[in-house]
Amino acid sequence: MERDTRLAALFDRDEIPDDGFSARVVALAALEDRLAARRRGQVRRITGEALGLAAILAAFAALARSAPVGEVVPLASPAMIGLMLLGTWLAVGVRGVMRAG
């Protein structure tokens, strides 16, 4: 019973509400919403880039295996690794140009 009386006394105060605190809480909630949206965007971007890179690597692997038997470029050769790096560089460059335009 005494506990209820103390609780009621806390709610019966005629003090001015702390508007600064309320504004800070609202601002922090808005900031958290913006950061969550940004994180979701970053996850989508990284997922897209990972899928694009996987597609490029799969294309190089398929092309290396589709040549006639005597002309297969081994996947572990320096030439194939260089081709993969050049292809990846080209794909990232083209994506950056398309995004900016």
Tokens describing residue 63 = 């092309």
CB-based contacts of 79: which residues, under 8 Å, 6+ apart? 73
- What mean pLDDT comes out for the span 2-28? 78
pTM for this prediction:
0.49
Per cent of the chain over pLDDT 90 is: 10
Query: For the chain, what are the domain ranges?
Result: 2-100
pLDDT band at 101 (very low <50, low <70, confident <90, very high): very low
Looking at residue 43, what is its pLDDT?
80
Looking at residue 16, what is its pLDDT?
63
- C-alpha pair distances (Å), 74 with each of 58, 63, 65, 83: 14, 11, 8, 12
Give 45-84 pLDDT, tens digit per residue: 777 877 877 787 787 777 767 666 666 666 677 767 777 7
Q: Do 52 and 44 meet the contact criterion of CB atoms below 8 Å apart?
A: no
Q: Do 91 and 56 meet the contact criterion of CB atoms below 8 Å apart?
A: yes
